[in-house]
């Protein structure tokens, strides 16, 4: 038994499935999850001392790479001053201001208040509660294949984690709660119009990933998000733009910032952030106009709270990360992602294996089918079993890809020439293995 196998066996004895978040279990790719002992820059090192170029990036937070010295120093400095106070701190105010400033500077002012929470799940759950409180309506529209965390009402057809386990939705969600969520196909404005027509005056909010990245990458059609903003406004509902994954990753003001700076002016009512905003620590946020956000307690009647909300260590990591995330960082990530995504496309093309690489800024994923992939049905209709062989071969070569075809690949500013070259060198063999794979094969 290898050390990873022994660790996994021990883990399964005390933790359900041996993991604290399902996709980590390698269920769809097979094999033994690597137990990570340390990480630095673009690499993770497992308990056997083997180092891998990491394209998981903690599922998004590691924008600068792992353990950036300035981020670690900021956390250490904060830790020395105390771990948690349950009282306001100036760091929280600073971080909220940095978030608002980045939106205003790189897109346009769209939010006036920020509430810090600990996870993306809390951010979207609170945003939804707020839209219900603000509108006095109950129904919520979400898109199939979009993941907004694991709160009850948002779990239906929620993409990667569930898709990897081949589950349409979670059990344990009462039918009465599921009935408050209308699930529609992504990129289908007619379906949204029809939902508003079928439920007049009852829909509180539409929630959408700014760009879908949890069923593989699903790029919004040009103008789709702006049209959602116009439609919700016309119907007296609110638009929640979930930038937990894309926020501060695909650009300094997230996916919304990219759309606005490309000349299409629109704004959501609420934005949610997570991952990069905490720099690898548990921190997330929701933001919006004061008239909506001030309905949160203690000013308003919509309750939300958290013992560790705005935790000083997490705030220090988030502030350090956002301060370091300048134009050079985004250029480096974009360039590295382009090189790897282009190479994936080229290697498969060279052997005549049909795939489609979907890209949203520096985020990309591949699907084993012809394009386009516009919605969850498209994403699921592929030879996903081929990914197992691609994954195993790259892992053997020292490259750690996301352990599911339904996840985006994450690069970081620490992915330099050496790391990118290692990925490129691993690809030809891995691509041949994927092409030669058979359904259900090892
Ligand atoms: N929203 C989106 C778009 C996400 O990708 C995720 C997590 O992957 C979440 C919300 C939930 O965030 P967390 O895992 O921090 O609860």
CA of 56 to the centre of ligand 1 (A): 14
What is the spatial distance between Cα 405 and Cα 100, in angstroms, rounded to a whole number?
34
CA of 6 to the centre of ligand 1 (A): 30
Question: Phi/psi of residue 284, each to 5°?
Answer: -150, 180
**pLDDT tens-digit map of 301-326:** 999 999 999 999 999 999 999 999 99
Q: What's the mean per-residue pLDDT of the chain?
A: 96
Task: Return the DSSP state at 97.
Answer: H
Q: Which of 261, 238, 257, 239 is nearest to 247 (CA)?
A: 257
Give the pLDDT confidence score for residue 157 in this predicted structure. 78
Give the pLDDT confidence score for residue 372 in this predicted structure. 93
Question: Phi/psi of residue 289, each to 5°?
Answer: -65, 150
What is the spatial distance between Cα 330 and Cα 4, in angstroms, rounded to a whole number?
34
Pick left, alpha or beta for residue 232 (phi over 0 → left; psi -120 to 50 → alpha; otherwise beta): alpha
Ligand 1 closest atom vs CA 59: 8
Residues in the chain: 442
What is the spatial distance between Cα 122 and Cα 405, in angstroms, rounded to a whole number?
26
pTM over 0.95: yes
Q: Is 3 helix (H, G, I), strand (E, B) or coil?
A: helix
Residue 209 has pLDDT above 80, yes or no: yes
Q: Which residues, in sequence order, are bridge partners of residue 367? A: 356
The residue whose CA has the least distance to atom 13 of ligand 1 is: 120
CB 272 within 8 A of CB 255: no
- In percent, the amount of the chain with pLDDT more than 90 equals 94
Give the pLDDT confidence score for residue 162 in this predicted structure. 67
Q: Which residues, in sequence order, are bridge partners of residue 272? A: 242, 286
Element (DSSP H or E) covering residue 391? helix 386-396
pLDDT band at 156 (very low <50, low <70, confident <90, very high): confident
Q: Is 404 helix (H, G, I), strand (E, B) or coil?
A: coil
Give the pLDDT confidence score for residue 164 in this predicted structure. 62
- Give the pair of three-digit tokens for residue 222: 């040009």
By most ligand atoms within 8 Å of CB, the mutation choice from 56, 62, 147 for ligand 1 is 147
The catalytic site residues sit at 147, 242, 275
Give yes or no for residue 214 CB within 6 A of ligand 1.
Answer: yes
- Give the pair of three-digit tokens for residue 193: 């119009």
Give the pLDDT confidence score for residue 159 in this predicted structure. 73
Q: In 10 A of CB 395, how many CB atoms?
A: 20
Give yes or no for residue 246 CB within 6 A of ligand 1.
Answer: no
Q: In 10 A of CB 231, how many CB atoms?
A: 17
Q: Where would I find the beta strands (DSSP E) of 43-196?
A: 43-46, 51-54, 113-117, 139-143, 181-184
Residue 9 has pLDDT above 80, yes or no: yes
């Amino acid at each position: 038994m290898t050390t990873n196998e022994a660790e996994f066996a021990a883990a399964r004895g005390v933790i359900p499935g041996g993991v604290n978040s399902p996709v980590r279990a390698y269920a769809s790719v097979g094999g033994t999850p690597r137990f990570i002992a340390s990480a630095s820059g673009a690499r993770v090192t497992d308990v056997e001392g083997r180092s891998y170029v990491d394209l998981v990036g903690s599922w998004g937070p590691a924008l600068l790479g792992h353990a950036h010295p300035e981020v670690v120093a900021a956390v250490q400095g904060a830790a020395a001053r105390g771990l948690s106070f349950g009282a306001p701190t100036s760091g929280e105010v600073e971080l909220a201001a940095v978030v608002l400033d980045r939106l205003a500077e790189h897109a346009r002012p769209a939010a006036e208040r920020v509430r810090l929470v600990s996870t993306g799940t809390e951010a979207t759950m609170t945003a939804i509660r707020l839209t219900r409180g603000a509108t006095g309506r109950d129904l919520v529209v979400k898109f199939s294949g979009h993941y907004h965390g694991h709160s009850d009402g948002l779990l239906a057809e929620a993409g990667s984690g569930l898709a990897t386990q081949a589950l349409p939705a979670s059990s344990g969600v009462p039918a009465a709660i599921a009935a408050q969520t209308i699930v529609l196909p992504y990129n289908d404005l007619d379906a949204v119009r029809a939902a508003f027509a079928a439920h007049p005056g009852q829909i509180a909010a539409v929630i959408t990933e700014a760009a879908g990245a949890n069923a593989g990458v699903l790029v919004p059609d040009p103008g789709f998000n702006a049209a959602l903003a116009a439609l919700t406004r016309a119907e007296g509902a609110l638009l929640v733009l979930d930038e937990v994954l894309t926020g501060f990753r695909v650009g300094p003001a997230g996916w919304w910032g990219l759309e606005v700076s490309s000349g299409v002016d629109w704004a959501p009512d609420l934005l949610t952030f997570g991952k990069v905003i905490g720099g690898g620590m548990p921190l997330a946020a929701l933001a919006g106009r004061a008239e909506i956000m001030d309905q949160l307690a203690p000013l308003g009647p919509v309750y939300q709270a958290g013992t560790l909300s705005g935790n000083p260590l997490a705030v220090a990591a988030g502030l350090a990360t956002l301060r370091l995330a300048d134009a050079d960082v985004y250029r480096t990530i974009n360039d590295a992602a382009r090189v790897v995504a282009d190479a994936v496309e080229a290697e498969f093309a060279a052997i005549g294996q049909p795939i489609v690489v979907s890209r949203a800024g520096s985020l990309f994923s591949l699907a084993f089918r012809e394009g386009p992939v516009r919605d969850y049905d498209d994403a699921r209709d592929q030879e996903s079993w081929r990914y197992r062989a691609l994954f195993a071969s790259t892992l053997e070569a020292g490259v750690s890809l996301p352990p599911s075809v339904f996840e985006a690949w994450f690069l970081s500013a620490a992915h330099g020439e050496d790391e990118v070259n290692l990925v490129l060198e691993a690809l030809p063999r891995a691509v041949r293995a994927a092409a030669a794979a058979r359904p259900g094969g090892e």
